Structure 1
Amino acid sequence: MQRKVIIAGGGTGGHIFPAIAIANALKKIQPDIDILFVGAVGKMEMEKVPQAGYPIKGLEIAGFNRSNIFKNILLPFKIWKSLRQAKNILAEFKPDAVVGVGGYASFPMLRRAQKNGIPTLIQEQNSFAGKTNKILGKKAKKICVAYDGMDKFFPADKIVFTGNPVRNNITQSAVTKEDALQHFGLSSQKQTIFAVGGSLGAKSINEALQPLLPTLVQKDLQLIWQTGKPYYETAKAAAAPYSSHIKVHEFINVMDFAYKAADVVLSRAGALAIAELCVVKKPVIFVPYPFAAEDHQTSNAMNLVNKKAGLMIKNDEVGAQLSGVLFSLLQNRALMEQLEKNIGELGNPNADMVIAKEVMSIF
């Protein structure tokens, strides 16, 4: 009997890539399964999901705007409208289960499905659950989590510890360090830093790195710098005199190469970034984005810092502290090895399959 599943959510790569990984794993288990994605109109998923080969429908929904309160005037209307759209999608597609991965579209779809008695599963990526997932968790059949202590947000009997799904091109990458360094035009004789701020870049990380460029070169260190679009031209100009040591990219598609080339990673603390770093086993300095909902990035990073599986610098202190923390870490072989070992123990390269099996179990 052919099964049908809706996967709802998106907004950022951090929600979309795990969702696609779950869909691919469901297809491996049951090749004829019918999967429909539901996202938010105008968001990244409307482009990325069709590229991955899946159909998607968009809801007209937006989140609460924390920076401009006036933009929230239409929010109740948008929520009402998106709930109606969700009702129509359910009536038309008739899914056996609905999976929520977080992001705006997740709430109306799961809320409606629960009202209609359709089994739902939540994939909670962060160590601090958002308000909507806490509401949805009461009626969800299963809640797949990646951090311990989640019973303070959800009913303990519904929690399944699965880890966060990571893209196949990272979990199954066969690239060698030599190949990776060559790809970026770097030397295998020098230590390499990889700085990444998520798909849109990270202003504070970029601004803290720029004045350090001459020192990096002086210390004969190499940098792979993913800046994101807004900072790309500035960074390119700043790095121009040091092009042998510093490689600036607006966006890196071959993340497995960048991770493999790196001795140390400087990163935001989104759930997807952390899941990838655990799988690739790299010493990392986290600079959490402090304006994420409920400041969940700080909570994610602290979870690793407490296990001696990462270092952390606060966003507003990165300008003052980065050089000290970064250069002393690169000189401390023992600390690098300890961080590498501890973060590696937290990785789960098969999380997508584990979650897919949980989805199959709620039909």
Structure 2
Amino acid sequence: MQLAAGVRAAKLFIREWQPDVVIGFGGYPAFPAMRAAQSLNIPTIIHEQNAVLGRVNRVFAAKALHVACGFADLAKCPKGANITTIGNPLRQQIIDAIPTTYQAPTDRINLLIVGGALGRKLFPKLCLRRLHCYRPKCERSCTLFNRPAQNTKTRQK
């Protein structure tokens, strides 16, 4: 019901403002504007910063003028989508801070897992399962920090 009201409001705004293109960055807040734009035949562009196309972006990808993505391989993208790899935007300060070489840690590895509501229970389980698979190959200790809801849980492996 709220999405339908959002689409109606977005259509009114788009008709009044008359944008030449509507760009969506995914997530449910983008749904009304993208649905309204495509129903009014306004060109749309999607940017997906992850390696897997998100649910909302998947809905609109096939009809989008471009699907700009941060990674060369974009999973779960519908057939016919016009995919263009552009990378993810980074400020110059971030680019300057990237080391030219990587030195692997020799003692403890600390993992901080953050995610939205859909991943807060799944990601820690998957990470712990994967760490267990590599444990025989890994001599160092791992600590996993997860913030699933209102309390912080720490588990050591």
CA distance 1:294–1:144, shift in 2 (3 Å): farther
Residues 107-160 of structure 1 show CA distances to partners (whole Å, capped at 9, x for unaligned) of 110111011111100001112222111111121111011123315323365111
Find out whether 1:90 has 2:14 as its counterpart: yes
**Cα offset, 1:102, TM superposition:** 2.0
Q: Is the 8 A contact 2:27 2:56 kept in 1?
A: no
1:157/1:138 CA distance change after superposition, 3 Å: closer
The answer to whether the 8 A contact 1:100-1:110 is kept is yes
Q: Please tell me the residue identity of whatever aligns with 1:129.
A: L
> How far 1:290 moved relative to its partner?
5.1
CA offset digits 1:39-75 (Å, max 9, x no partner): xxxxxxxxxxxxxxxxxxxxxxxxxxxxxxxxxxxxx
Matched, 1:141 2:65: yes
Identify, as 1 or 2, the structure richer in helix.
1
Structure 1 residues 150 and 115, CA, compared in 2 at 3 Å: closer, same or farther? same
- Please give the residue correspondences for 1:87-236 in structure 2 after superposition, counting only pairs within 5 Å: 87-155=11-79, 158-171=82-95
Change beyond 3 A, Cα 1:167–1:156: farther
**Structure with bigger RCO (C-alpha 8 Å, 6+ apart):** 1
Q: Which runs of 4+ in 1 moved over 6 A?
A: 295-298
The aligned residue for residue 45 of structure 1 is: none
CA distance in 1, matches of 2:143, 2:52: 19
AA aligned to 1:167 is R
1:289 to 2:125 alignment? no
Cα–Cα, structure 1 residues 290 and 85, in superposed 2: closer, same or farther, change >3 Å?
Answer: closer
Q: Deviations over 1:326-356 (max 9, x none)?
A: xxxxxxxxxxxxxxxxxxxxxxxxxxxxxxx
Equivalent in 80, 83, 87 of residue 4 of structure 2: 80
- For 1:137 and 1:161, the matched residues in 2 are separated by 14
For residues 166 and 285 of structure 1, the distance between their equivalents in structure 2, rounded to whole angstroms, comes to: 24
Unaligned regions of 5+ residues in structure 1, if any? 1-76, 174-259, 261-279, 303-311, 322-363
SS state of the match for residue 111, structure 1?
Answer: helix
Query: Cα distance 1:104–1:297, how it changes in 2: closer, same or farther (>3 A)?
Result: same
CA 1:84–1:156 in 2, change beyond 3 Å: closer, same or farther?
closer
Distance 1:127 1:286 in 2: 20
Q: Which residue of 2 aligns with 1:203?
A: none
> Residue 320 of structure 1 corresponds to which residue in structure 2?
156
Verify the 8 A CA contact 1:130 1:293 in the aligned structure 2: no
Where in structure 2 are the equivalents of 1:20-35 lying within 5 Å?
Answer: none
SS of the equivalent of 1:143 reads strand
Flag the 1:92–1:286 CA change in 2: closer, same or farther, 3 A.
Answer: farther
The percentage of counterpart residues that share the same residue type is 27
Match of 1:186 in 2: none
Q: Which amino acid aligns with 2:156?
A: A
Structure 2 unaligned spans of 5+: 131-141, 147-152
Residue deviations 1:271-326 (CA, integer Å, cap 9, x gap): xxxxxxxxx2467965332555457978xx99xxxxxxxxx9654695414xxxxx
Within a 5 Å distance, the mapping from 1:264-275 to structure 2 comes to: none
**Worse-superposed segment, 99-108 or 148-157:** 148-157
* TM-score normalised by the chain length of structure 2: 0.64
Does the C-alpha gap of structure 1 residues 110 and 313 become closer, same or farther in structure 2, counting only changes over 3 Å? farther
Q: Please give the secondary structure, in 2, of the residue aligned with 1:122.
A: strand
